[in-house]
């Protein structure tokens, strides 16, 4: 099993140390874990800082790589929070540092934090979704220094709406973006945190993952988006079965930004 979306205390919203995450991964039979702590430049109106020293981060990862090298493989990743006006800065970081894996995520739209809810105040549910996907479309057409798009439909998590908007309402946007991701040789993740957030589906939804598969998408990682030890590898067995039912034969891991493919049947 491979958990390629894990946060340690280097992310200000996480409450586990790297070592706690590693020990949880070992306990859960994980072959590889990838730390993907948050970097979000120009994060609006927030008391938390989503920035840290890359040197300190890499030094900590190296420490646990050596300490547990006979029990688990540990990869150096990052979850890069993207906004249209900081793409050059984000690219500079990725090119400058020796990452194994990069998740490209959106947490801020129109310079407004999705979590706080300000983004939704003047929008209908449909217009909020459309604005989010328009910004994601801009980013994937103007930014290449990543491996997978994180929690593709994170917009459904916020806004206080009773239900998620049906895919049919924004399928045109999704279709266009997924085609571009595939064309660029990039992928998506199956992020199991949607279940934990009470959405009764993954990020992205099974419908979107099915669409990605039908369009020819092959690169897909598994990520728990864990911020506490008990969430490492959350719901992975079920997620693998879902991917197999859709038609996927492999999940993906990364080393030095290069993909490796692992048979799902060997992991079930």
Segment 192-223, tens digit of pLDDT:
999 998 888 999 999 999 999 999 999 999 99
pLDDT in tens, 48-74: 778 899 999 999 999 999 999 999 999
Q: Looking at residue 78, which CATH number applies to its domain?
A: 3.20.20.140
Mean pLDDT of 131-156: 96
Give the model's pLDDT for residue 208.
97
Is 51:90 a contact under the CB 8 Å cutoff? no
Integer Cα distance of 135 and 139 in angstroms:
6
Say what the pTM is: 0.95
Residue written as token pair 């200000």: 12
Integer Cα distance of 83 and 105 in angstroms:
9
Mean pLDDT of the chain: 95
* CB atoms inside a 10 Å sphere around CB 141: 12
Task: List the domain range (segments joined by +) for residue 74.
Answer: 2-267
Number of domains in the chain: 1
Integer Cα distance of 49 and 38 in angstroms:
9
Q: pLDDT-derived band of residue 115, with 50, 70 and 90 as boundaries?
A: confident
* CB atoms inside a 10 Å sphere around CB 216: 10
Is 223:5 a contact under the CB 8 Å cutoff? yes
Mean pLDDT of 8-18: 92
User: Residues 237-259, buried b or exposed e (16+ Cβ, 10 A)?
Assistant: eebbebbeeeebebbbbbeeeeb
Phi, psi at 149, each rounded to 5°: -85, 130
């Amino acid at each position: 099993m491979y958990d390629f979306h894990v946060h340690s205390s280097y992310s200000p919203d996480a409450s586990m140390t790297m070592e706690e995450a590693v020990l949880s991964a070992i306990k859960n039979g994980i072959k590889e874990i990838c730390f993907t702590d948050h970097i979000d430049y120009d994060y609006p109106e927030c008391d938390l800082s989503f920035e840290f020293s890359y040197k300190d981060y890499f030094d900590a990862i190296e420490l646990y790589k050596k300490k547990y090298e006979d029990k688990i493989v540990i990869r150096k990743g990052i979850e890069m929070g993207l906004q249209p006006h900081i793409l050059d800065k984000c690219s500079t970081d990725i090119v400058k540092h020796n990452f194994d894996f990069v998740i490209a995520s959106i947490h801020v739209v129109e310079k407004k934090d999705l979590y706080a809810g300000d983004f939704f105040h003047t929008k209908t549910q449909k217009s909020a979704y459309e604005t989010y996907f328009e910004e994601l479309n801009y980013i994937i057409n103007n930014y290449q220094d990543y491996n997978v798009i994180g929690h593709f439909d994170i917009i459904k998590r916020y806004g206080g709406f009773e239900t998620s908007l049906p895919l049919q309402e924004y399928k045109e946007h999704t279709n266009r973006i997924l085609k571009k991701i595939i064309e660029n040789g990039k992928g998506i993740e199956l992020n199991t945190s949607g279940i934990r957030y009470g959405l009764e589906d993954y990020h992205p939804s099974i419908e979107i993952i099915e669409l990605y598969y039908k369009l020819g998408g092959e690169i897909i990682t598994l990520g728990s988006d864990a911020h506490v030890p008990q969430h490492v590898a959350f719901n992975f067995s079920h997620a693998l079965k879902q991917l197999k039912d859709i038609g996927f034969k492999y999940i993906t891991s990364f080393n030095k930004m290069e993909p490796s493919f692992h048979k799902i049947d060997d992991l079930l």
